[in-house]
Amino acid sequence: MASSCPHCKERSLHPSRIEADLPALSCDGCGGSLLSLVAYRHWRENQPEPANGNGDDGSLDEIKDTSIALCCPKCQHFMTKFRVSADARNQIDLCVHCDEAWLDRGEWQLLDRLALAGKLTLVFTQPWQNRVRSTEAERRAEQRWNERLGDDYVRAQEIREWLRSTPQAREILAYVNQVRDDIPL
Ligand SMILES: [Zn+2]
Ligand SMILES: [Zn+2]
pLDDT band at 57 (very low <50, low <70, confident <90, very high): very low
Ligand 1 centroid from CA 6, angstroms: 7
One DSSP character per residue, 101-114 reads: EEE-TTHHHHHHHT
d(CA 42, CA 1): 24
pLDDT at 1: 61
Cβ atoms of 99 and 105 within 8 Å: the answer is no
> Which of 59 and 146 is assigned the larger pLDDT?
146
In the predicted structure, residue 162 carries a pLDDT above the cut 80: yes
With CA atoms as reference, report the closest residue to 117 among 66, 50, 65, 64.
50
Whole-number Å distance between alpha carbons of 104 and 18: 12
Are 140 and 104 found together in one domain? no
Nearest ligand to the CA atom of 103: 1
Distance 10 CA to ligand 1 centre (A): 8
Rounded mean pLDDT, 20-35: 95
pLDDT value at 53 more than 70: no
Based on the structure, what is the number of domains in the chain?
2
Q: Answer yes or no: is 32 within a domain.
A: yes
Whether residue 85 contacts residue 116, with contact meaning beta carbons closer than 8 Å, is answered with yes
Domain boundary among 124, 142, 163: 124
Strands 88-95 and 100-103: what pairing? antiparallel
Ligand nearest to the CA of 96: 2
Same domain, 20 and 66: yes
Residue 2 lies in a domain: no
Please give the residue range of the domain that contains residue 155. Answer: 131-182
- The ligand placed nearest to the CA atom of residue 32 is 1
Nearest ligand by distance to the CA of 105: 1
Q: What torsion do the CA atoms of 94, 100, 102, 107 make, to the nearest 10 degrees?
A: 90
Residues 149, 102 share a domain = no
pLDDT at 49: 67
